[in-house]
Structure 1
């Protein structure tokens, strides 16, 4: 795991070099968006001044625009399109009265801040509160990074006792459509702890569809390895276990945290199942990777033929079953 810290240090250094190299291009993108994109969207969609103020502050965040620029292959056209989509998402909340107890933030300067996510107590009835809290936290972390200068934060993902079905069918599609477009590549590294063999199947799927750049920032650690190699990423103390407490974001150290966990509201209705959204999301990710692959451009005609043959076989098979039933 010492190699993981060295790898992250090299990645951070490379990102800083890229940010310096593309500083002028990012500035041009910001000026273009402020002068043309924001006024055009406000006029076409009749958006209010509150949206304009937030949009201008969001575009003024050089770190976010650089991450978006890099994610889109340093293409100005693609970046402006992605920025347009991000600005049209629902405005983040400035205040959150009910927070989910499974999410917390710790600050350990000079290291990046750490987002702690414990999925042990994520239930269908609390999923809505979990989403709101996570989106709220991402916006606060973006503001913190814009002020302090780092390009990303660390995330400790605790899978102990998590319900695999809820994670796949509900969380992943929502994260891909609501969080990732607005906060691209803001998570510099994800440390997964308390994982078991049950997640082997999910990991084998994600490893095939997720970009290599994202996979290189995921590390599987034991709690002991986390304490040894990344002590600044340690979760809250055992006094608040097993449920994490969510601190006031104005508090700089975890020692000043609240003395009791904040309970989430139980009034949220159970979310509707989104298995179809998961299939669509994975298909889009896979389709994006295949379109950019050299082998697919060369052999895609064979892939379409095989797909048509498979559909023909499936239709004929269903027809034979219907005849037998009659």
Structure 2
């Protein structure tokens, strides 16, 4: 993890150099978008002035334009096309009617802000609320990065209790089509905690299709690693306040924020152990709990223990080497 922190520091310095180098191209893109693209889209699609205000503020964000320009290989035509597609997406909401408790934000200047996503609270019926809350937080983070002249934030992803079906069928396609094009490469690093053996297949597929640049920003860590090398990414021991209850994002101390009954499972789960023995013990414990609650086991458990002892005795007798019979 010490190497990861050093790598992220070097990447941040390299991004600042690239940003200064391509500032002229970014300015040209902004002028062309403000003079031609936004008026054309507003006239063709009959968009209101509220959309135009948001679009102009989005285009004037140097950090967003730089990240988009870098993602498309510093090609002006590709960046302009991606910018047009991003402006065609529905603008984020100014307020949330049904915020989701899985998303919170911590700010510890001068470190980058940290977005905490805890999938334990995610259910199939709350997916829409989760998407709207995450989109709202990304827009707030974009404004925060613009105000403090930073290029990215950190994300702590808690996989404890998450269901893979919901992740694959809903969240991943929505993230790649709606969220990522609008906020490209804004996440500087993702720290995944509480990962278990059930995500091994998902990760083996993802690392074959994801670009190397995205894989270099993903780290599988424990709470001890975060506490030692990235203490600003830790959630405080007290209940977190969700980002949607903040009157602003300029809080310096935790005493200034309102309290919330949301607790994070990142401080409750032990570090995962991905071994076959741990998997066997977990399955055995689950089977034992299910059998102890069954009525037939309470009646016939004595017969089951006798049968188990006979099987163990037969197994050891079978594996014992036979002595040659003297003639």
Q: TM-score, normalised by structure 1?
A: 0.77
The residue that corresponds to 1:175 in the other structure is 175
| Contact kept in structure 1, 2:242 and 2:260, CA below 8 Å | no
The residue that corresponds to 2:29 in the other structure is 29
Q: Deviations over 1:280-320 (max 9, x none)?
A: xxxxxxxxxxxxxxxxxxxxxxxxxxxxxxxxxxxxxxxxx
Q: Tell me, which stretches of 5 or more residues in structure 2 are unaligned?
A: 264-327
Q: Tell me, which stretches of 5 or more residues in structure 1 are unaligned?
A: 264-326
1:91: Cα distance to partner? Answer: 1.1
| Contact kept in structure 1, 2:103 and 2:117, CA below 8 Å | yes
The residue that corresponds to 1:153 in the other structure is 153
The residue that corresponds to 1:233 in the other structure is 233
The residue that corresponds to 2:52 in the other structure is 52
Distance 1:117 1:236 in 2: 14
Distance 1:188 1:107 in 2: 15
Q: Deviations over 1:136-166 (max 9, x none)?
A: 0000000010110010000000011111111
Distance 1:130 1:258 in 2: 21
Does residue 140 of structure 2 align to residue 140 of structure 1?
yes
Distance 2:102 2:44 in 1: 40
1:98: Cα distance to partner? Answer: 2.2
Distance 1:189 1:262 in 2: 24
Distance 2:220 2:194 in 1: 9
1:126: Cα distance to partner? Answer: 1.0
1:260: Cα distance to partner? Answer: 2.6
Q: How many residues matched?
A: 259
**Secondary structure, counterpart of 1:98 in structure 2:** coil
Alignment of 1:92-171 (within 5 A): 92-171=92-171
Distance 1:81 1:122 in 2: 34
| Contact kept in structure 1, 2:103 and 2:116, CA below 8 Å | yes
Distance 2:178 2:261 in 1: 27
The residue that corresponds to 1:246 in the other structure is 242
CA RMSD of aligned residues (A): 1.4
Q: TM-score, normalised by structure 2?
A: 0.77
| Contact kept in structure 2, 1:99 and 1:262, CA below 8 Å | no
| Contact kept in structure 1, 2:105 and 2:114, CA below 8 Å | yes
Larger Rg: 2
Q: Deviations over 1:108-156 (max 9, x none)?
A: 0000000000001100011111111000000000001011001000000
| Contact kept in structure 2, 1:245 and 1:262, CA below 8 Å | yes
1:43: Cα distance to partner? Answer: 1.1
Alignment of 1:168-317 (within 5 A): 168-237=168-237, 239-240=238-239, 245-247=241-243, 248-249=245-246, 250=248, 252=251, 253-261=253-261
Distance 1:31 1:142 in 2: 20
1:261: Cα distance to partner? Answer: 2.6
Distance 1:44 1:128 in 2: 30
Distance 1:254 1:93 in 2: 26
1:182: Cα distance to partner? Answer: 0.3
Distance 2:156 2:7 in 1: 17
1:262: Cα distance to partner? Answer: 6.5
Runs of 4 or more above 2 Å deviation = 253-263
Q: Deviations over 1:31-81 (max 9, x none)?
A: 011011111111111111111110000000000000000001000000000
Distance 1:69 1:85 in 2: 14
| Contact kept in structure 1, 2:155 and 2:187, CA below 8 Å | yes
**Secondary structure, counterpart of 2:104 in structure 1:** strand
The residue that corresponds to 1:87 in the other structure is 87
1:259: Cα distance to partner? Answer: 2.4
